[in-house]
Every structure is written in C-alpha cells, then in structure tokens.
Structure 1
Amino acid sequence: MGRRRRRQRLPQEPVEASIDSLSHDGRGVARVDEKVTFIHGALPGERVRFRYTARRRSRDEGEVVEVLEPSPRRVEPGCEHFGLCGGCSLQHLEAQAQIEYKQQILLDAFTHLGKVEPEEVLPPLLNERPWGYRRKARLGVKNVPKKGRVLVGFRERGSNLIATLEHCEVLHPKIGHALMDLSDLIGGLSRPGRIPQIEVAMDDERCVLIFRNLDPLGAEDEKRLRDFAREKDFIIYLQPGGPETVTPLDEPADLRYRLPGFDLELRFEPGDFTQVNSDINRQMVARAVEMLDPRQDERVLDLFCGIGNFTLPLATRAGEVVGVEGAAELVARARENARRNGLENVRFHVANLYEELQEPWLKERFHKVLLDPPRSGAQEVLGHLPRMGVERILYVSCYPGTLARDAGELVHRHGYRLLSAGVMDMFPHTAHVESIALFEKGGK
C-alpha cells in the first residue's frame, strides 16, 4: 500500500513578493524561493505581502494581505463583494489594462499552443456599459440557518459555497439588485432548502427566473411566487427535473432580441443559449459579417448555429446560408426565426458536430464558413472544410486555448492563413476571453 503524501504545512507569517505577470485566470504570478506562486488580488509590477493558501509540488498559491507598492493601473473595485465572490477576478484592474491583458492571453495562446501568429491584431470590441451587462446567469441558492437567510448568488472564490451577497454589479440591475428580495422569497417557502438554483434569462424588456425545484410546490408556495412575480415584474418558470421539464408557472414569456444593423428580431426560450452581453453581441455579429463578407453569389455554412444569431444576419447578405446545430430544439427556433424574418435563402440541419459525420450537407460546396463552437472547440469538423472548397473561415471563440489549437491545425495542416484576430469584451471584470479570428485559404 502506497504511503499517503502529507499535506505541506502553510507558513503562518505573510511573505513579500514582486509580481511579474497575470495568469490566465487573473491572478498575479511571482517567483518565491524559485517557485512559481499564484497570488489572488495582485497585479503586475506590484510589491505585495501575501499569505499562502496552498502549497503544491509544482506551484504555490496565496492571497494578498497588503499592497506595498501598487500598480498605477490598480483601481478601487466597483463591488464590495470583490475578493469573496468568484464571479469576477479583475475589478481591481483598470478597464484598458483588462483589455490589454485579454489580448495578450489570446496572442500567447496562438504562439505557444498553435505556433501561429495573426497577420493583424484587431482593435477590441468594447462595452458601452461595463457594469450591469449580464443578462444570462445561473445563480446558486442555499438555505443557511446559521446565517438566518437564504444565500442567492455566485460561488465564493475557490469554493463550492455560495457567497454571501447583497447585490451583484455585473448582473443587469433588474436581477443584480434583487438578490435580497429573492432570498426573502425563497426563505418564505415551505421547503427553502429544496430550491438549489435560479437561472436568469432576459431580453430588452422582460426577465425570466427559472426556479429549479427538487420537490413539487404546494398551492401556497405557488401563490408566493405569483405575488412576487407580479410585484417585481418577473416571469417565473419551474424546473422539477432536466431541461426538458422547464415550464412557465403561468403564461410563457415571449423573449426576443433585436439586431438593428440587419433589421432582424430573434425569438428564444428562457433555457436557450444566448450571449450574456447584448451590446457586445450586436457588435460581434456586425464584425463577423463584415469580416466574412458574404456575397449574393456565395454559399455560407454556419456550424454550431444555435437559434440563428449569425445565420440570419449572414442570410441578409449571402446567396444561401446553411446552419447546423446539435440541439433539435435550437434548430426549430432557428427555422422559426428565419420564417418570422422573411428569410427564404436559409436551411438548417440537426447534427452532433462532435461525432463522425456522414451528413449530406458535407458533400456540398461552400465558399465561406462561420464557426461558433463551445469551449471544447471545433477540431472534429476542421478536416471537412478544405474538401468542401471553403475559402474563408470566421471563427468565434469563448476559449483561447482551443481556438489556438484549431488555428494551428487550420494553418499547418490544412493550408489556411490566420489573417486577423482580436478580443471582444463579452465579460468585463472577469478573466473570460471571447475572441474572433479570420482564416483564408492559400498563400499571400
């Protein structure tokens, strides 16, 4: 039987360190006693005093106790819960520096993971409103009798515990300033410990709350929810099981958002994937269409198309667009959105793009492709693109690591050039990096 490795004892006294850089998750990086140490709350160029929180064989971790020499780019966090709540990690860094950090994360990923470099770095897409921007979220819920309340919000930094929050400044104010109201509401239910989660979905006018209820709600509890919804102007859904069980408590919500640059309106259900930041989404769609530059004599393929966020704008410019998505319910929504917007030059297919594909549309020819995959990337479909005659690829990514990996394959294996790439500040004050990249077939 192997010997159990004893956990290293943590030094009790704070230690000083000079911060060299920021990690991919927004922590300061220092070398202390020749060992890499990640320090929460520290910024590059600072001298700090920190306390160890973990020691491992390859790296140590800590958190700032005192900033001895602050960075000129340090600012006062905009939320009193910064440092406790795990929802944000960069509120102490000025906005322009946040963007520069994200741009560097993207470029470093291209260099180290993909062994590629964009010929042009695009100017970043920035927020008109860097606070109160978030319209989609999953909020944890926990009844904590010792604290005398139900906790509603995001998890504590580095923990599975729900943070004790009174408000959230990155959520849209409609919900971000209603956390205590939700706490009181759930605390008044007959079994407050049986509501573990609330999912938030908003459009420009309405806000839906999906309550995950582990037990059926009685008539009195449903009345409380109805009264709350009426008083606070929310639309409430219940989810007693999996995603397919989401149903409105009363009348369903008619959620929709506009893409005014294309004179389009897209309808969606509360549980559908939509972008959290409506301002950046509008800018992102406009940039994607401009970069891909579809023409009336061209066919475009939109992979991971969802409800048609890119498909429909592309269809206003291209001769024909084909959208492919793995979720049948999203494809149904996309078809309905195309019909509602009077677009007849668009087709949709249901296909799992992470499985071996034998679909008829793979044998068709396309001039251009838009990829908008989840965090795991689009590696499984890349080999099909040259065979379909694709000349230009626009890749929208929510994770630089897989974008860089896929960029390396497109460039080194399939003969595309990485023309340009840049970041989009979809999640201000967090370390999340949303990016966009353009590839074109052939040499210079």
Structure 2
Amino acid sequence: MQFIEVEIETLNHDGRGVARVDGKAVFVAGGLPGERALVRYTARHRSYDEAKVEELLTRSADRIDARCPHFGGCGGCAMQHLSAEKQIQAKEKVLADNFSRIGKVRPDHWLAALTDQAWGYRRKGRLSVKWVEKKGKALVGFREDNPRFVADLSVCHTLMPEVGQRIADLSDMIGSMHARREIPQIEIAAGDDVVALVFRNLVPLVQDDLDKLIAFGRQHDLAIFLQPKGPDSVHALWPEKTMLSFSVHASDVNLVFQPLDFIQVNAGMNQRMIARAIDLLELNSTDKVLDLYCGLGNFTLPVARHVAGITGVEGDQALVSRAAENARHNGIENATFHAADLSQNQTNVPWAMARYDKLLLDPPRSGAAEVLEYLPRKGTDRIVYVSCHPASLARDAGTLVNRHGFQLVRAGVMDMFPHTAHVESIALFER
C-alpha cells in the first residue's frame, strides 16, 4: 500500500483537509491545516484526489482527541478532532467564502455564531441496520464514508443519550429477532417528553418479534412504532397511543408532530434559532408576514404571537394539515396555511399576490431560486432567510441584492450539527 507525505493547507467545505501534490488538490479525511501527514489515497479523479490520514508527522494545536471511539469510520461526524471554537470558525469561513465566490456579496455585519449543547443534541435521525452473517450480528449505525457500508457502532455521542447509549442494545435485540434480515432502518424522533423509534419492517412480524420490540420499549422507556410500507403506514406498537410534541418556550407554542415529520434536529438550537429569526424580523402588531417552506409551523406559529397575520406555505400537504391543527391547538387564529409546490411558479396564486411587510424563508438544500422569480413583491422590505446549505443561500443572496434591490445586512452561522461539516446559517436582507 503506497503512502505519500503531504502538508495540509486548509479545510474544505466538508471538513476534510486540503493538500496539493504536483499542483493537484487532495482532500484528506482527518487532516487539519498546518499538519504534515502520511496519507493513503482512497479515490482518484480528474481534478482532485481523495485520501485518508494514516500517520500524523506533525500535530495541529487545534487538534483534540475525538470523544467517539468510532470517529473516522462512521460517516456521521467529520470534525470531532477539531476544537469547538475552530469548528465554528471553519463554518464561518465556508459561509463567507460562498457569499464571496457565488453570490458576489458580503454582509454589512457578521452575527455572533449561535451555539448550544455539543453532545447528545440529536433528536431526529435515521440509523441504518444490516444483518451480517459472518459477524453473527446486526450492525446498527450511520453509513460509513463509503455509503455502501453501515458503521458498526456500539454508542453514538451526538444522538440523545436515550438512543445513543442504546446502540449495542438495539443491535443485540434486532439480532435476536426472526426478522433480523428484514429490518433495514430505524427512524429516531423525540419530542420534549417522548422518544420514539420507528422500525422499518419489510415483512410482517411474528408475535415473538413484536413481544421483543415491546419489551425493549418498556425496558428503556421508548415508544415503538412500525413502518411496514410507505410513510403513511407508520403506526404505534407500544404504547398504542403516543403523542410527540415540543414547545417553543419564549412564544408559548406547543407543536405536535408525527414520527416521520420534519423537525429541526437540535432542540436547543431550534429555540435559539426561532428567537433570532423573530429578533431579526423586527415584528410589530400591524405586520403581515409570509413564511415559505413553513413545515408544521416551527416559525409560523411563534411569529403569529407578534403580528397581525401570517401566511405559511409548504409543499407537503400532511405538514400543512399538521400546521393548521397546531394553530388550533394553540388557540392561534391569525395564521393561515396553504399547500403549494414552491419549485413551480406560483405568481398568480392568491396568497402569492397578497401584500406582505416581511418574508421568512427556510428552504431545503436546493434553496429558493424559483420563489425569487416572483417574490418578494413591492411592499416587502425585510427578509430573513434561514439556510441549511451555504451555496444556495449565497446564490439567492446574489439574486436578492443584484436583482431585487436588497442589501445583505447581517448573516451568521448556527451550529445545528456540532462535530459535522453541516453549515446552518441565517441572513437578514433589507430593501
């Protein structure tokens, strides 16, 4: 096996070190800027290569020992070897570089990074499961860097401990089931009071397997759901009636959701993120607000407490129904919801033609390019954009600034996924 000595110059957007060999970029998993290392190539491409650190020759002062014994094999985290402060700085640099390179913009002011607890924060996730005959066990974990393989985990420190400390127990329990070859994944969903596991079962389960799942739920105080087919087939196994919900404390809002619904992964960060969005919107009692990609009302209903009216729009009809139910559940009467495919032109739809003082965007990774073809309309002078992908935010920022006459006033990162390279961010635009 051939090793080559390299010097790591910087970090790329996914948390890998960047070295150069004969002028060609090499992305090095496990490498930090300033380090020299012996690396092993893992893939070669026309414009760049990929490698992994085999031996450190010099060690960065920013390097720390990873907390997780599976770091480097599991693909769930990429930055556990970097100090928390430097992780934030790396994410801020990714955001700034994207604004400059893609959007040709920069904010007038940088917001201080939002952070919350760094471990045990993950309340939503999907664990892969695979029965391996040669090992005589069920592997339970996230995918490795090579997504064909499931990481063989015994613990996960980023998952909330009710699940993260039970990985080995899950493996043993599934390995004892008749259907151990037909359980491909486990969805994790946690509210404030209930932690639920949704077992995807490709075949009907015999009573002995059902009993084992119920016993596991009882023993570890976990709600157990089954998913025999598509998302609509999810149903509670134990207890028979289980309600998941979380509260947005500052706005006195309680949101009920189903196990497969999208909710923000990090509960503490979600509270801080909502508070920051409300602060940046500078809401008053006469405002009419449009909230696009509203989901089940995560931003919509807290904002509704401060304004004359708010309209939430979301592509998933089930989430729209849930948002309306949550409005009724919280006694909120000034919020209306619509289902619409926001990747399609909605120019002449009544909700899009209405006048709004302020606009809130929280799009998927692909961003809001299609929406910005017909919005914002005249009269909307303030936009808060919440982003899970800095490249699409930067592209859309360029559109808002250069085509719609807005100014990028403030922007900053929010550490929704500590120890990963994921960059969540928020930006304020003013006309």
TM-score by length of 1: 0.95
Q: Deviations over 1:142-168 (max 9, x none)?
A: 000111210001011233210111100
2:97 equivalent in structure 1: 108
Which amino acid letter does the alignment assign opposite residue 215 of structure 1?
V
1:277 is aligned to 2:266: yes
2:276 equivalent in structure 1: 287
Which amino acid letter does the alignment assign opposite residue 152 of structure 1?
V
Q: 1:135 aligns with which of 99, 123, 126?
A: 123
Question: Take 2:134 and 2:371, find their aligned partners in 1: how far apart are those partners?
Answer: 51
Q: CA deviation at 1:252?
A: 3.2
Question: Take 1:14 and 1:108, find their aligned partners in 2: how far apart are those partners?
Answer: 31
Q: How does 1:17-416 map to 2 (within 5 A)?
A: 17-127=6-116, 129-250=117-238, 251-357=240-346, 358-416=348-406
Question: Take 2:386 and 2:28, find their aligned partners in 1: how far apart are those partners?
Answer: 31
Q: CA deviation at 1:345?
A: 1.1
Q: How does 1:428-439 map to 2 (within 5 A)?
A: 428-439=418-429
Question: Is the contact between residue 179 and residue 209 of structure 2 (CA under 8 Å) also seen in structure 1?
Answer: no
Which amino acid letter does the alignment assign opposite residue 247 of structure 1?
H
1:423 equivalent in structure 2: 413
Q: Which moved more, 1:151-160 or 1:432-441?
A: 151-160
Q: CA deviation at 1:388?
A: 4.8
Question: Take 2:364 and 2:114, find their aligned partners in 1: how far apart are those partners?
Answer: 20
Question: Take 1:387 and 1:56, find their aligned partners in 2: how far apart are those partners?
Answer: 45
Question: Take 1:192 and 1:26, find their aligned partners in 2: how far apart are those partners?
Answer: 35
Question: Take 1:59 and 1:364, find their aligned partners in 2: how far apart are those partners?
Answer: 49
Question: Take 2:178 and 2:2, find their aligned partners in 1: how far apart are those partners?
Answer: 47
Which amino acid letter does the alignment assign opposite residue 137 of structure 1?
G
Q: Which moved more, 1:416-425 or 1:350-359?
A: 350-359
Q: Deviations over 1:18-55 (max 9, x none)?
A: 11100111110011122111111000111111111122
- Say what the alpha-carbon RMSD is for the aligned residues: 1.0
Residue correspondences, number: 429
SS at match of 1:147: coil
SS at match of 1:248: strand
TM-score by length of 2: 0.98
Question: Take 1:93 and 1:162, find their aligned partners in 2: how far apart are those partners?
Answer: 24
Question: Take 2:126 and 2:141, find their aligned partners in 1: how far apart are those partners?
Answer: 8
1:3 equivalent in structure 2: none
Q: CA deviation at 1:242?
A: 1.1
Structure 1: stretches of 5+ with no match in the other structure: 1-11
Q: Deviations over 1:328-363 (max 9, x none)?
A: 111111111111211111111111111122421111
Which amino acid letter does the alignment assign opposite residue 395 of structure 1?
Y
Question: Is the contact between residue 345 and residue 374 of structure 2 (CA under 8 Å) also seen in structure 1?
Answer: no
Question: Is the contact between residue 290 and residue 311 of structure 2 (CA under 8 Å) also seen in structure 1?
Answer: yes
Question: Take 2:224 and 2:349, find their aligned partners in 1: how far apart are those partners?
Answer: 39
Q: CA deviation at 1:321?
A: 0.6
Q: Deviations over 1:342-398 (max 9, x none)?
A: 111111111111112242111110000000011111111113223252111100000
Question: Take 1:53 and 1:278, find their aligned partners in 2: how far apart are those partners?
Answer: 36
SS at match of 1:217: coil
Q: Deviations over 1:44-91 (max 9, x none)?
A: 111111111122221111111111111110000010100000000000
Question: Take 2:313 and 2:50, find their aligned partners in 1: how far apart are those partners?
Answer: 43
Question: Take 1:339 and 1:191, find their aligned partners in 2: how far apart are those partners?
Answer: 41
Which amino acid letter does the alignment assign opposite residue 387 of structure 1?
R
Question: Take 1:65 and 1:138, find their aligned partners in 2: how far apart are those partners?
Answer: 30
Question: Is the contact between residue 383 and residue 414 of structure 1 (CA under 8 Å) also seen in structure 2?
Answer: no
Question: Take 2:73 and 2:219, find their aligned partners in 1: how far apart are those partners?
Answer: 31
SS at match of 2:156: coil
Q: Which moved more, 1:267-276 or 1:216-225?
A: 216-225
